[in-house]
Amino acid sequence: MPLPKYHQIYLLLCEQLAEGRFADGLPGEFTLMEEFGVARVTVRRALEKMAADPPRKKVTLVWNGDDVERAMGSLFHNSGDVKKYIDLPLANYSTLPYDKVVSGGKTIGLSTYTGYNFNERAMLSLAILNNEQSEPGTQVTLVWGEEGRGTTKPTVERHAQVEIRATVAPAPISSVAREAYRPKALA
């Protein structure tokens, strides 16, 4: 017996999400209805299934200090490409910045809300990663900066993207915040 259509769409969307097709987010219901040639109720059931068993997880990325130092060091030399400036303590260069996270040459998620954490002595960012790469200790690569040497926004300098190695950690990174601040029902 074949799988119900909503389940087929769910599986296909999860596969495409894992491949990095939806780095900018899933298309809306009407777009998916048109793409799959199905009714809204079918698309909605597929999306509800995704919501009940999400294919991605929120994590913290701990940036590699040597890579951060290399990127910031490029700002002080006249030779080579200048990398995207990392503002401290928070590196928010747009209303909602996000940078792609890759592993094995594939986009596996996105990173946002970057900042330096004195307690951890590290640059950290929140990320949404495919479940397969969301285990603490997993090594991933963050692509910091904008494609095409930046945008025309006057607040963003011209720059080259830089790959920064990162290690996956729980979100929130603080065990006190994870265990004491959150109700047990959410843990």
Is residue 9 within 8 A of residue 36, CB to CB? The reply is yes
CA distance 97 to 103: 20
Q: How confident is the model at residue 99 (pLDDT cuts 50, 70, 90)?
A: confident
Higher local confidence (pLDDT), 169 or 184:
169
- The model's pLDDT over 49-71, given as tens digits with 9 standing for 90+, comes to 888 877 788 899 999 999 998 88
Of 54, 73, 92, which residue sits at a domain end? 54
CA Rg, the chain, in Å? Answer: 19
Are 118 and 133 members of one domain?
Answer: yes
- The model's pLDDT over 75-93, given as tens digits with 9 standing for 90+, comes to 787 777 777 767 777 666 6
Higher local confidence (pLDDT), 123 or 78:
123
Are 21 and 95 members of one domain?
Answer: no
**Which pLDDT score, from 0 to 100, does residue 23 have?**
65
Are 69 and 116 members of one domain?
Answer: yes
Q: How confident is the model at residue 95 (pLDDT cuts 50, 70, 90)?
A: low
Q: Is the pLDDT of residue 184 over 70?
A: no
The model's pTM is 0.71
Are 112 and 155 members of one domain?
Answer: yes
Q: Is residue 82 a part of any domain in this protein?
A: yes
Are 69 and 155 members of one domain?
Answer: yes
CA distance 124 to 169: 10
Are 101 and 121 members of one domain?
Answer: yes
Q: The dihedral of CA 118, 96, 147, 31: what is its sign? A: positive
Are 47 and 61 members of one domain?
Answer: no
Are 50 and 64 members of one domain?
Answer: no
Are 44 and 63 members of one domain?
Answer: no
Domain of 174: which CATH number? 2.40.30.110
Are 91 and 35 members of one domain?
Answer: no
Q: Is residue 186 a part of any domain in this protein?
A: no
CA distance 136 to 127: 12
Total domains present in the chain = 2
Of 14, 33, 54, which residue sits at a domain end? 54
Are 45 and 133 members of one domain?
Answer: no
**Which pLDDT score, from 0 to 100, does residue 21 have?**
75
Q: Is residue 185 a part of any domain in this protein?
A: no
Higher local confidence (pLDDT), 3 or 152:
3
Q: The domain containing residue 22 runs over which residues?
A: 5-54
**Which pLDDT score, from 0 to 100, does residue 165 have?**
96
